[in-house]
Amino acid sequence: MFAFLLAVPALAADDESEKAAVMPPQAMHVIHISVDGLRADAVTRRSPEDLPNLYRLRNEGAFTDNARTDFYRSNTLPNHTSQLTGRAVLGPNGHGWTKNSDPEPGETLHSHHGEYVASVFDVVHDNGLSTALYTTKSKFVLFDQSYDGVNGAPDLVRADNGRDKIDRFHYDSDTETVVDAFVRDVEREQYDYAFVHLRDPDSAGHRFNWNMRSGSSYLSSIERVDRLVGQILETVTSTPGLAGNTVIILTSDHGGGGSFHNHGDPAHIENYTIPFYVWGFGIAPSELYALNGETRLHPGMSRPDYEAAGQPVRNGDAANLALAHLGLPAVPGSTLNAAFDLRAFRADDIPSPSIAEETREAPDTATASAR
């Protein structure tokens, strides 16, 4: 059943959904960056001179400063699980992972949920493409454990690439070390989908609070993150194989400061308001709500639940947004952006079908030789 689900793109029959399911221009690589504890206004209260690289993503890309975390939880591991699986934390379709500490050895998303929870890694890997996860918190071993050679689902899509869905898992608590490793590695091997987690704003926030005053540790940590994002941008634009065909998605698991030295209250605006930036190949410079008037509703200061008629842009949209740009089907079992209806491109900008097909085949070849 898994294979059938994967093989069918997320298309629906009625006019409205068909319009929404127009595929974006085909990118070869997606780099999905999550900046832990990044408040959207920690960027907008600063200037482009302070944060040149985050502003570059905003100015050249499609962005919003008013995306939402998961409705139920505004903490790290549950929200990253949403970002990687395209599911809410709770509810009938939720992934169900509410713990925010290191998992027990052998504990997986599936053992906890009672059935397999597929992720963006499943779809990319099973289609013969390469994946990586670079993280600065040890609890992300949850994903390595869940999608390793034992606990990952059998690959039933085309060639069998084995059960291990994450080709490279790299953890170090030091953010600069992780980004150095990432840029060094991608110069050698251009992963088709890579996830990079940067912890610094969250760490500064817990220690010194989400202090928005000039010179605070929290704001300094974002300048450091900006430099690291700049390192990744520089690598993308200067590395043959990545330049001109890569999409970067940058968002956060939660903001912070709505709770004392914390972000645990999911009903507090400072915790649930996060940025969502999309930059790179085929991306239209735009504000995401302006571009997605038919499928997303700017939430103002509110916190819509999953039943609300107008849904906000959520960090959990990222998994399927990445897959849409890679020309792959949605994550099986996902509900957030499962119809690929969050657009970061203009339909007029889509290349002709022949060009799209050519680029579609390229990642397979590249991956085969890289293995």
- Binding region for Zn ion (CB under 5 A): 202
Nearest residue to Zn ion on Cβ basis = 202
Instruction: Between 143 and 345, name the residue whose CB sits nearer to Zn ion.
Output: 143
Which pair of tokens denotes residue 219? Answer: 């704001």
**Backbone dihedral region for residue 350 (phi beyond 0: left; psi -120 to 50: alpha; all else: beta):** beta
* Residue pointed to by tokens 């059935």: 115
Which pair of tokens denotes residue 6? Answer: 């994967």
Instruction: Output b/e per residue, 14-45; b: 16+ Cβ within 10 A.
Output: eeeeeebbebbbbbbbbbbbbbbbbbbebbee
Instruction: Between 135 and 151, name the residue whose CB sits nearer to Zn ion.
Output: 135
Minimum distance between the CB of residue 206 and Zn ion, rounded to whole angstroms?
A: 6
Minimum distance between the CB of residue 138 and Zn ion, rounded to whole angstroms?
A: 14
Minimum distance between the CB of residue 22 and Zn ion, rounded to whole angstroms?
A: 37
365 CA to centre of own chain: 25
Instruction: Between 167 and 202, name the residue whose CB sits nearer to Zn ion.
Output: 202
Instruction: Between 78 and 329, name the residue whose CB sits nearer to Zn ion.
Output: 78
DSSP 71: S
Minimum distance between the CB of residue 317 and Zn ion, rounded to whole angstroms?
A: 21
Instruction: Between 46 and 73, name the residue whose CB sits nearer to Zn ion.
Output: 73
Instruction: Between 202 and 341, name the residue whose CB sits nearer to Zn ion.
Output: 202
The CA distances from residue 22 to 135, 333, 341, in Å, are: 32, 21, 8
Minimum distance between the CB of residue 335 and Zn ion, rounded to whole angstroms?
A: 25
Q: Which of 206, 183, 208, 209 is nearest to 196 (CA)?
A: 183
Cα distance between residue 156 and residue 6, in whole Å: 9
- Cα dihedral 297, 301, 302, 306, rounded to 10, equals 50
Radius of gyration of the chain (CA): 19
Instruction: Between 202 and 226, name the residue whose CB sits nearer to Zn ion.
Output: 202
Minimum distance between the CB of residue 172 and Zn ion, rounded to whole angstroms?
A: 18
Minimum distance between the CB of residue 263 and Zn ion, rounded to whole angstroms?
A: 6
